[in-house]
Structure 1
């Protein structure tokens, strides 16, 4: 499993590549689109941005996976969006858009999980590596753009 430091370093490099290439590079990873997700820290109150893959994008709805590479612990960004589901999301060269995050219930997750695996089978490997059930999250446009 990658350490927190390794994950943060890779994420920082990925964001820099996207920024300095003007969004030309780094907008896909392993055949999936990437997004920049900005959450508000549940303890710090500061904005935190991570680059994540989005195995499913259906219209304005984006599905992300809190896999953390099959690690036994949830990623920090998941704790942040559970505390405050008002997030900002940027795709490709686009602007940050206000969105609302929804952590799927077990039943909702079970319904959507086969689609996630069909889109990117590697997530099944991540699930097999951990005893926790890897959460799925939907991101949808926020009607209140605060």
Structure 2
């Protein structure tokens, strides 16, 4: 547990917020590509996905490695637009707002999903779960004036409709 606590402490710092956005996603994308979708380095501490979402302005698919909180029933994922506690919302959140149908790579499987921005009481309840899951989110929120965006991803069938089933075998 000392390793996890140390990583949480380090990831709560401003230095980490400055350096990590330039290093971690690049390493994650490279390792993910080399392992054909089976490994994300950052997922050694937190579960992770590669989100492929359509660019809000460009219309071009954008791939972003992200930490996630899997749903307790295996039917969905929660993504946090913390941007490592930096001032602006990360671009991928604008992409999901503009184009909620996306795809994730989860444990080597490509899963079509639909994203929904959480608000109000629902967001507040999920935020409490997120803080228990990864306490540094509290430090990220304390550093910024914006409300950090939280999305719920649910699997959908290839025709584009939300599915009630999980992502399948992992």
- Please indicate, yes or no, whether the TM-score normalized by the shorter chain is above 0.5: yes
CA gap 1:74/1:134 in 2 versus in 1, 3 angstroms: same
- 1:62 to 2:77 alignment: yes
2:96 alignment counterpart? 81
Structure with the higher strand share, 1 or 2: 1
Consecutive unaligned residues in structure 2, runs of 5 or more: 1-16, 161-170
Q: How does 1:94-133 map to 2 (within 5 A)?
A: 94=109, 96-133=110-147
CA contact (8 A) 1:27 1:33 kept: no
2:3 alignment counterpart? none
Measured on the aligned residues, the alpha-carbon RMSD in Å equals: 2.0
CA contact (8 A) 1:37 1:90 kept: yes
- 1:21 to 2:41 alignment: no
Task: After TM superposition, give the deviation of residue 24 of structure 1 in Å.
Answer: 4.8
Cα deviation, 1:46-81, whole Å, max 9, x if unaligned, reads 000100001343312100100000111100010011
CA gap 1:51/1:145 in 2 versus in 1, 3 angstroms: farther
State the TM-score, normalized to the length of structure 1.
Answer: 0.87
2:153 alignment counterpart? 139
State the TM-score, normalized to the length of structure 2.
Answer: 0.75
Q: Quick one: which of 52, 55, 58 aligns to 2:66?
A: 52
Q: How many residues align?
A: 143
Structure with the higher helix share, 1 or 2: 2
